[in-house]
Structure 1
Amino acid sequence: MTPTRDGAGVSTDGTPTGVFRKRRAGAPPAFFACEAAGLCWLAEADAVPVVRVLGVGHDHLDLERLEPARPTAAHARGFGRGLARLHDAGADAFGCTPPGWSGDGFFGPLDEPLPLPAGRHDRWGTFLADLRLEPLRELLAARRRLSPRLAGDLTALAERLRAGDLDDDAPPARLHGDLWSGNVLWTADGGVLIDPAAHGGHRETDLAMLALFGLPHLDDVLAGYQEVRPLRRGWQRRRGLHQVYPVGMHAALFGGGYVTQTEALVGELVGR
């Protein structure tokens, strides 16, 4: 499926017509190259539409311009089937970045992208503990948004993950990695992936992110997904576990109610 494009020409700001230029002066080194590598890795699976990379520079990323449209239940079901196939394309390890990319990734808004630690773990539990929860705890502490109770609960949750209490035998999936509703752009042909934090992880993580801020027709997305890859029993109960990191990062970035939400999520997971 190919999103619609404008005709040839040049816009008033010098960007060619048909191109969306994502720009930020003073972006971290290789920030846009990292995003481009992630988009290309996702597109290589040929599973779900991904916005096409047209060019990349140190302060910008040129993407194919997409024309938004209202999503339908049929679009959502098709998107779910494609997302399952994307996850099935797999990754080399939990925490790995796209082939050809070395170093950490990025997570967060364009005006304040934060490091997304990379590594290579054989088990999802140790990956989540070492590369997500521990860095999150340090970041919350640095920003004075870590209460003693939350610090203790994050430590307890990490210990459970390292012990294998919450693991399963699922292999690493090829994840979008920041799949909240705003990073699915609906066109006349269906949903298209944009703005990834691509890495190897657990398939339920992308699905939990879609639920976090309310994707249109989410039930249809999940139905389509399970047509291709039925989810392991209890996936609804595990949703909070997969939401700890993104909610916690919102707490670090924005504070306020996200801190309370993080405390509640982690507290429930450790049995408070």
Structure 2
Amino acid sequence: MNPRDAVAEITGRQPVEVHRLGGGDTAAAFAVRLDDGTTVFAKTAPETMPGAVAAEAASLAWLAESDSVAVPAVHGHTERWLVTEHIPEAAPTPRAAERLGRELAALHAAGAPAFGAAPPGGPADAWIGLAPMRNEPCERWPSFYARHRVEPYLRRAVDAGLLGPDGAEVIGRVCADIDALAGPAEPPARLHGDLWSGNVHWGGQRAWLIDPAAHGGHRETDLAMLHLFGCPHLDRVLAAYQEVSPLAEGWADRIHLHQLFPLLVHTVLFGGGYAAQAVAAARNALRAR
């Protein structure tokens, strides 16, 4: 189905103009102007990612339900197509970054039923980028993180020959010592789940969160993702977050631990230097103990 037909089916309106916006790692994206003058955003997921659209729609709804962060409203979806509110892009500002920090604190405080809990109505087998991601509820964050976030991608990286035995041994030690590395216990937070800078969309007077892989997790994970690939005015984001919801002592030393998961995902998807970065993150996490 082409974007014109998909948007017409989902919205019940007639598209009059379609502009391709390109696509990220997973999908083609379009801005579609409807016959009532409204512009919507439409994206499609490949056939190789069953359940991806449903997972994203459920993630957006769960974040919106928290009444904390700004996310595009979902107009509807099919198995392959998602149509949401279109947010015109704007330049990031310090004030918008501070607002994002406060809103992230409120999102995390909204909580989740368990670590690894999927959004209501969302599938257990979800996606992060092009990689499958299993949402499996657990009582404790350390065991959830090791079993369902680090170890599956470690195995895939080793099996694909992307990570050698020495590097695998270092990352394996992180999983073995995860209880000592995890820091103070915290309740499950409601996470965006894939909060790299490309999924922070600046529009109007605030930041909008897009492309979530939402689940119950540790709040430091979202913040570590912002550190991984940079974020405009990150110092303002963090300062505002801390004012609302101070992070536990030693949080900065645990950034490498929380970055291990996305770095392994990138290793599996893209290879290159990400394996070395993952091993370096594991070494830094072990040194921070």
Residue type of the partner of 2:39? G
Counterpart in the other structure of 1:33: 54
How far does residue 164 in structure 1 lie from its aligned partner after superposition? Answer: 4.7
Counterpart in the other structure of 1:176: 192
TM-score normalised to structure 2 length: 0.86
Alignment equivalent of 1:241, drawn from 257, 266, 272: 257
Counterpart in the other structure of 1:218: 234
TM-score normalised to structure 1 length: 0.91
The answer to whether the Cα contact below 8 Å between 1:125 and 1:164 also exists between their aligned partners in 2 is no
Whether 2:66 is the aligned partner of 1:50: answer: no
Structure 1 distance, partners of 2:262, 2:62, is: 22
Deviations 1:103-134 (A, max 9, x none): 221012xxxx2111111111110011110111
Alignment equivalent of 2:135, drawn from 96, 104, 118: 118
SS of the residue corresponding to residue 200 of structure 1 reads strand
Structure 1 residues 270, 237: CA separation in 2 closer, same or farther (over 3 Å shift)?
Answer: closer
The answer to whether the Cα contact below 8 Å between 2:114 and 2:138 also exists between their aligned partners in 1 is yes
Cα RMSD after superposing both structures: 1.8
Residue type of the partner of 1:12? E
How far does residue 269 in structure 1 lie from its aligned partner after superposition? Answer: 2.4
The answer to whether the Cα contact below 8 Å between 2:199 and 2:210 also exists between their aligned partners in 1 is yes
Whether 2:164 is the aligned partner of 1:147: answer: yes
How far does residue 28 in structure 1 lie from its aligned partner after superposition? Answer: 2.1
The answer to whether the Cα contact below 8 Å between 1:123 and 1:167 also exists between their aligned partners in 2 is no
Structure 1 residues 25, 263: CA separation in 2 closer, same or farther (over 3 Å shift)?
Answer: closer
SS of the residue corresponding to residue 155 of structure 1 reads helix
How many corresponding residue pairs?
A: 260
Deviates more, 1:61-70 or 1:138-147: 138-147
SS of the residue corresponding to residue 22 of structure 1 reads strand
The answer to whether the Cα contact below 8 Å between 2:184 and 2:248 also exists between their aligned partners in 1 is no
Gaps of 5+ in 2: 1-12, 20-31
The structure where strand makes up a greater share of residues is: 2
How far does residue 271 in structure 1 lie from its aligned partner after superposition? Answer: 4.2
The answer to whether the Cα contact below 8 Å between 1:125 and 1:167 also exists between their aligned partners in 2 is no
The answer to whether the Cα contact below 8 Å between 1:95 and 1:121 also exists between their aligned partners in 2 is yes
5 Å-filtered alignment, 1:54-69, equals 54-69=75-90
Structure 1 distance, partners of 2:135, 2:287, is: 29
Higher relative contact order (CA 8 A, sep 6+): 1
Deviations 1:167-192 (A, max 9, x none): 42210000000000010100112000
SS of the residue corresponding to residue 138 of structure 1 reads helix
Counterpart in the other structure of 1:5: none
Residue type of the partner of 2:17? T
Gaps of 5+ in 1: 1-7
Structure 1 distance, partners of 2:284, 2:172, is: 14
SS of the residue corresponding to residue 252 of structure 2 reads coil
Deviations 1:124-169 (A, max 9, x none): 10011110111011110232112101211122111111x4552422
Whether 2:17 is the aligned partner of 1:12: answer: yes
Structure 1 residues 165, 191: CA separation in 2 closer, same or farther (over 3 Å shift)?
Answer: closer
Residue type of the partner of 1:130? R
